[in-house]
Amino acid sequence: MGNGTLSAIDVARLYPTPVFIYYADKQLPEWNQEAEKVLQLFPGESMEERLAQLISWVELDVGAYAGKMDSSILTKEIRLNQEMRFYEVITSPMYGGVGEFEGIMLVLRDVTALRAAEARRLEREKEETLAANLLSLLAPKNWIAPTRWQVFGRSIPARALGGDYYDIIPIQEEKKVILVVADVMGKGVQAALWMTMARQVIRQAAARYRDTGSTVEWIHQSLFRDLYHAGAFITMLFMVLDVESGRITYVNAGHHPALRIHGEQAEFLSGKGPALGMTEKPGYTVNFQAIQPGDTLLLYSDGILDSWQADGRGLGKEGLAKVVQQARLLKAREMLDGIFKAARAYPEGQQRWDDMTAVVVRRE
Amino acid sequence: MNIQFEENGTVLICKLNEDLDMASANLFKTKVEQYIASVSFEKMVFDLANIGFMDSTGVGALVQMIRLIQGRGARVRLTGYNEEIGDVLDLIGVLRIVGAE
């Protein structure tokens, strides 16, 4: 050019993607180094033959762009060895200084990886939606004994599917209520499958309930072998509420302790043992406590404690105790609202967060 | 996953320099499995001083490696973990399967 301005092909050489420049007044185009690699994908004895194949592949008609201002975009595929590759083809008309049509610029963008990722995402979404629909059918019902007890639970998975699980199971003609909060290692479909299996086992255990210790032992025995061999584990807080006396008996298998609010006092209930699947002889201890009129009990998953706040720290046990204490006079459902609002104080999607589950027990 | 291995007599030290979570757990397992396949040791130390966070998938990966090493007849020790990670390892029962020294 000599006058300091860059020609179209000079610009194309700076592009990291394949570019072909077809001039209106020339038979052969020009192309950059990346485009050279694309040409090698087409069969042909000479470069002219390969170019002819390329034109046919992208359905190019240079003359058709004369007088047009718009670019066209289409996606084309080509087989390379045994693998299909996908290119986005962007064709734009070029005009000179006085508005004369000079030709077209053809830019190719390899979108194979993007398409594969998109296909995987769609497949995963489909799978998760199906499973989430199934799981929503399995969601436990809240339990209320008018003027005496309110038991409300809620679980929000971080993805379409989560590894958290809670259950509220009235037994013995509603003289007792089994409360469970469990957290399966990991996330996604695999964790959800473990969770469904654990739910099944826990429900079976509830149906044959005699006492808390032997019930948890049965759950452990039923799940241990599968969990151990898969290298997985489930943390679980298993609790039985005696409706008449307010007494609770519970076993903690590697889970965060329940929080009891009595008057203005907040207390995390003692008792711990290894998570399900961790060891063959866990030696679980059965613990006893009482829920008195006016008391609140909270069972929760680690997602409630760990979810990041605006200051970059988790809500933590102290923060949770404060939230529940402040909400102690509210109804169970409103208290749940407050807990989830506090735990999700930061903008969604901007920070790491986990499945969140909580069960509130209020004695009136 | 940034991991360093150091052999000190019969002790193999595995230093983790990156959080152990869902994103890094598989690579952590692969690197440990590959390394220990070709060396002999009596004790393996996982040095967790440089990691600030471990999610449940990360704990699961660590548990699988502990079992693999114990299955070979070697002892395992965890060192350097911060209070938060220590609480999680204690709560879930990992410290119990490693045992005190």
Specify whether the CB–CB gap between A245 and A222 falls below 8 A.
Answer: no
> In a 3-state reduction of DSSP, which class is residue A168?
strand
- Does A278 sit within 8 Å of B93, measured CB to CB? yes
Look up the ipTM and state it.
0.88
Nearest CA in chain A to B93: A274
Q: Tell me which residue of A218, A239, A235, A216 sits closest to A278, measured CA to CA.
A: A235
Which tens digits make up the pLDDT trace of A231-266?
889 999 999 999 999 999 999 999 999 999 998 899
Q: Do domains A8-110 and A136-363 have the same CATH topology?
A: no
Residue B59 contacts A, CB cutoff 8 Å: yes
Name chain B contacts of A354, Cβ cutoff 8 Å. Answer: 55
- Does A274 sit within 8 Å of B97, measured CB to CB? yes
The total number of structural domains in chain B stands at: 1
Q: Tell me which residue of B87, B21, B31 sits closest to B57, measured CA to CA.
A: B21
Each residue's pLDDT expressed in tens, for chain A with a length of 364 residues: 445 567 778 878 888 889 999 998 888 899 999 899 888 888 888 888 999 988 888 888 888 888 888 888 888 888 877 778 889 999 989 888 788 888 999 999 888 888 888 888 887 777 777 666 666 667 788 999 888 999 999 988 776 566 788 999 999 999 999 999 999 887 777 787 888 889 899 999 999 999 999 999 999 999 999 999 888 899 999 999 999 999 999 999 999 999 999 988 999 999 999 999 999 999 999 999 999 999 999 999 988 887 666 566 678 888 899 989 888 888 889 999 988 888 876 545 544 467 789 999 999 9
Which tens digits make up the pLDDT trace of A129-183?
766 666 666 778 899 988 899 999 998 877 656 678 899 999 999 999 999 999 9
Q: Where are the domains of chain A?
A: 8-110, 136-363
Q: How far is A254 from chain B (nearest CA, A)?
A: 4
- CATH value at residue B71: 3.30.750.24
- What pLDDT, on the 0 to 100 scale, is given for residue A4? 55
- In this structure, the dihedral spanned by the alpha carbons of residues B76, B87, A187 and A203, taken in order and rounded to 10 degrees, is 100
CB atoms within 10 A of CB A167: 21
Specify whether the CB–CB gap between A179 and A239 falls below 8 A.
Answer: yes
Q: Identify the domain containing residue B93 by its residue range.
A: 3-98
Q: How would you class A13 by CB atoms within 10 Å of its CB: exposed for 0-12, middle for 13-18, buried for 19 or more?
A: middle
- Does B93 sit within 8 Å of A274, measured CB to CB? yes
- What pLDDT, on the 0 to 100 scale, is given for residue A125? 78
CA angle A298, A256, A295 (to 5 degrees): 20
- Does B93 sit within 8 Å of A282, measured CB to CB? yes
Hey, what are A211's tokens? 């006492």
Residue linked to tokens 């993805």: A159
Q: How far is A255 from chain B (nearest CA, A)?
A: 7
- What pLDDT, on the 0 to 100 scale, is given for residue B101? 54
DSSP class of residue A316 equals H
Q: Is the pLDDT of residue B83 over 80?
A: yes
- Does A231 sit within 8 Å of B60, measured CB to CB? yes
Hey, what are A215's tokens? 């019930």
CATH architecture under which domain A8-110 falls: 2-Layer Sandwich (3.30)
Hey, what are A216's tokens? 């948890």
- What pLDDT, on the 0 to 100 scale, is given for residue A15? 83
d(C-alpha B99, C-alpha A304), whole Å: 30
Residues sharing a CB contact under 8 Å with residue A171, sequence separation 6 or more, in sequence order: A177, A178, A206, A207, A209
Q: Residues A326, A332, A338, A344: is their CA dihedral positive or negative?
A: positive
Give CATH for domain A136-363: 3.60.40.10
Q: How far is B88 from chain A (nearest CA, A)?
A: 9
Nearest CA in chain A to B92: A254
pLDDT mean over B55-84:
93
Report the DSSP beta bridge partners of residue A3. none
First vs last C-alpha separation in chain B: 28
d(C-alpha A257, C-alpha A237), whole Å: 8
Distances (CA, A) of A45 to A22, A39, A74, A180, B44: 21, 12, 28, 72, 62
- Does B55 sit within 8 Å of A354, measured CB to CB? yes
- What pLDDT, on the 0 to 100 scale, is given for residue A164? 85
d(C-alpha A278, C-alpha A295), whole Å: 33
